[in-house]
Amino acid sequence: MELHNRGVRQDVRELGELLGTVIEAQASRDAFDTVESCRRTAIDYRSGDLDSREPLVRELEDISPHTQRVVARAFTTYFELINLAEERERVRSIRTASQEGTLADSLEAAAADLGESDTETVQQILDDVLIEPTFTAHPTEARRKTVKSKLRTISTDLETLDERLLTDDEAKAVWNSVDAEVTSLWQTPQVRNRQPEPDDEARNVQWYLENTLFDVVGDVYQELDEAIDEPVDGSVDVPKLLEFRSWAGSDRDGNPHVTPEVTANTLERQRSVVLERYRDELKRLSGVLSQDGSRIDVGSAFQVGLEDDRTELPGSASMAEQRYPDEPYRQKLKLMRERLDRIGDVRPGGYDDAEELLTDLEDIASSLRANGAGSVVDAHLGPIYRQVATFGFSLASLDLRDHRQKHTDAITAALERAGIEYDTLTEDERVELLTDAILQDEPVIDLGATDSLSAADARVLTLFDRLGEWQTEYGTEAIDTYCISMTEEPSHVLEVLFLADQAGVVSLPEHSGLDVVPLLETESALSGARRIMGTLFENEAYAQALAARGGTQEIMLGYSDSNKENGFLAANWSLYKNQRRLGEICDEHDVTMRLFHGRGGSISRGGGPMNEALLALPNDTVTGQVKFTEQGEAIAEKYANPRIAQRNIEQMLNAQLRARQDAIEHPTEDVPEAWLDAMETMADAARREYRDLLESDGFVRYFEEATPITVIEDLNLGSRPASRSGERTVEDLRAIPWVFSWIQSRCILPGWYAIGTGIDAYLTGDGSSNAAADDGEGGDADDRMAVLQEMYAEWPFFRTTLDNAALSLSRTDLEIAAQYADLADGDRREQFFPRLTDEYEHAADLITTIGQRDQLQTRDWLGENLERRNPYVDPLNVLQTYLLGRTHLTDVEERTLRLTVKGIAAGMKNTG
């Protein structure tokens, strides 16, 4: 059976031809000819028919600024369209493999693995697993919302052409729609004319939750229920395995624009959206549940619930009985919709929480099953139940976040009015003071008295003052987590607990409405994790708060700043070690650990396939609960298309179920000491080399000259500033623009720099460890290479680390990078670019040798992807370097330069 009418080559060809037609019609024939000439020249050079890029460089430099802008726009739009073609091809692959029963990482495969365990263990695994994707508003999405909307329409049309059997006239009508959207896309500004506001970012995240994830969640659970039936002996209950969270509208770290009003608006809007979706689902269900009440026995539980509703809502009940006589399910559903309408209303009768709605759905389901309508429950009621269990009344729970210094400053100012000089206290004295203050009944500070405080301090106190109101209005679960950036001391965590206590959100020992989450992102914080967490676990006030939250401690690990501080290999090794260390600390104190992985979209910021990352985590850290950030283009790539969204969720569930099963069967990962020593040697050497590069005189200046960082800082990507203080240092620069800039210049050093030096230190015995010799493996380089090859074959952490580095190396293009390096001062270029080149070549050679393969990439699709994209990215890179090298740009040239950033981001499918 043919599932599809088209292929990726046809999509790419026809979309490219259509774009050419639009360019000719909207710009000019001459502009179209220039675009075509640039395209052919770039292809000829890549294919070896030209010896130099010089013809492309000359052509782009000689054309007018207006035509340069057309060229930049043409290639940017091309990538937007080709990304849709590749997305469609991925859907084809998923559907084909599913039909053939060859889909890897599927729920069926996970269920088959679970079937090897006894029923009790399977139930424990299911009970333990909870996956919490957390959407952030970090500015890594280079496309405007308007552009994304148009692209979604084109994507839907491509799906129709590919999957539906159409007449010639019908197919022509659909293609005419594509033509119209591409024309409109060409006429739409690609670059934002204003900086996005936090409300815009929150609405963007909300779109994916409302329009994609809400609809696919029920299908995922239904597939898992069916998959698990056959291989697992006995009956098991599949509980809630997924929960979505968001930082959009609530992350204050470095963003003064996220005010309490923004957070309040986000909470209200998300509740309104999810309640409206529930109303629609219940209305649809009413069309299904038309059973005649005189022919069935609805059961006592259902009848009691219906009578309670009639008592609470007599007017609505009377109308329901008149409209649906002898149709009890429809009457019930009508009253359930009325109860949804009254949530947050002055009228009584609204649902207090999602659990009450779930109870009503359970009563209907039980009644239907008792009347032989189990198939109706499975097909129509089950998905709604899963939606309510997953999204609650908040759509996505919000995490609050701010920098620890903000809390310290606000508490210092507030306590000063109470006669306490907090800033003069030692760390131990601060811990003692905060503990006593939390445990005493009387408040210490008035959160509402902010008149004499600075704006920054008042902002912190006002937030906590409003937090209690929000939890009362929207439910504790709507906003119940507070993440502390740059946590370095136990007092930084207790400060937030103290402010929550003063707000009435915490009332120990009975109640704590807040998970306080330390974000450990610097080397000092990670190495001091035992001291920080051990002090907290043994603290009387914190122990009570932890017990009130069910004994689970969430700890966030920062991948971005750790990488920027230490380099790729050292950061990954530090994170691995410290995850194990944190697991040991939590086990010692009988605390359940939930790791929150602060992953970015790029490899250097913890990106890469999420299922592989979950399977590579140390066994002693896999408690079943896991949380991770989703950012920027990664959100669109994973969740814009419903089928791809469902596939991503299934892969994550597959990985986490298998990882938890393995952790139960093998609680401690058995990693040979020789491997650990080898990693220690490599990481130490890599960190020294990376730090030496960053600390070399002139490197920051080279970074400014050889990348488009100054352009990126001025782009309206997000509401948050690009740097923390406005200073030009690597430490002060946020991780996203740091990575974004290197990706643009095709020298993606954050994803691979110093890994070659690290590996070489182990091979040559120049590091601090001589693991291979000590382990009887022999001391020469060949023996040590054999150890590394064994590590790659058998240790998921090491294999994933090298494969991710290989992805960054594959996407690096040193020829293009050399053009950016030529923009730097001559001496600085000679100081740094050869060093980067040597490290790249050394890393590429060593990784392919360790992996025992001829090419860097391990995925065939990546090679095809790069081959298809590189010739089209080249003109954008060449044009960007030309404009960056100009001392003065006109307004048109400035806009063209910004547009090249967008186009390269689309071509590389990544910003930062």
Pick the closest to residue 696 from 835, 885, 490, 873 (CA basis): 835
Count the alpha carbons within 13 Å of 628 in the hemisphere toward its beta carbon.
Answer: 25
How many other CB atoms sit within 10 Å of the CB of residue 148? 15
Pick the closest to residue 823 from 902, 878, 901 (CA basis): 878
Task: Give CA angle at 538 (442, 582), nearest 5°.
Answer: 125
Strand (E) or helix (H) holding 531: helix 529-537
CA distance 659 to 615: 6
Q: Per DSSP, which regions of 208-310 are E strands?
A: 245-246
**Which entry of 332, 407, 564, 597 is annotated as an active-site residue?**
564
CA distance 190 to 624: 42
Contact 777, 783 (CB under 8 A): yes
CA distance 490 to 541: 12
- Dump the DSSP string for 480-521: -EEEEET--SHHHHHHHHHHHHHTTSEETTTEE--EEEEEE-
CA distance 103 to 88: 17
CA distance 692 to 747: 18
Structure tokens at 526: 């990670």
**Which residues, 6 or more positions from 636, have their beta carbon under 8 angstroms from its beta carbon?**
141, 143, 148, 208
Please indicate whether residue 138 is annotated as part of the active site: yes
How many other CB atoms sit within 10 Å of the CB of residue 666? 11
Pick the closest to residue 586 from 536, 642, 626 (CA basis): 536
**Which entry of 138, 407, 627, 902 is annotated as an active-site residue?**
138
CA distance 695 to 831: 13
Pick the closest to residue 402 from 456, 448, 453, 452 (CA basis): 456
Please indicate whether residue 909 is annotated as part of the active site: no
CA distance 886 to 390: 53
Strand partners, 130: 625
Q: Is 630 helix (H, G, I), strand (E, B) or coil?
A: strand
- Dump the DSSP string for 44-97: HHHHTS-S-SHHHHHHHHHS-HHHHHHHHHHHHHHHHHHHHHHHHHHHHHHHHH
Residue 197, burial from CB neighbour count under 10 angstroms (0-12, 13-18, 19+): middle
- Dump the DSSP string for 718-729: -SS-SBSSS---
How many other CB atoms sit within 10 Å of the CB of residue 907? 22
Structure tokens at 380: 């129509």
Q: Please report, in angstroms and rounded to a whole number, the separation of the first and last CA atoms in the chain.
A: 42
The torsion of the CA quartet 621, 622, 627, 633, rounded to 10 degrees, works out to 100
Strand (E) or helix (H) holding 861: helix 860-884
Structure tokens at 193: 């004319």
Task: Give CA angle at 395 (391, 399), nearest 5°.
Answer: 105
Strand (E) or helix (H) holding 474: helix 455-474
Pick the closest to residue 905 from 735, 717, 701 (CA basis): 717
Structure tokens at 737: 């623009």
Per-residue DSSP letter, 377: I
Residue 79, burial from CB neighbour count under 10 angstroms (0-12, 13-18, 19+): buried
CA distance 835 to 215: 50
Active site amino acids: 138, 564
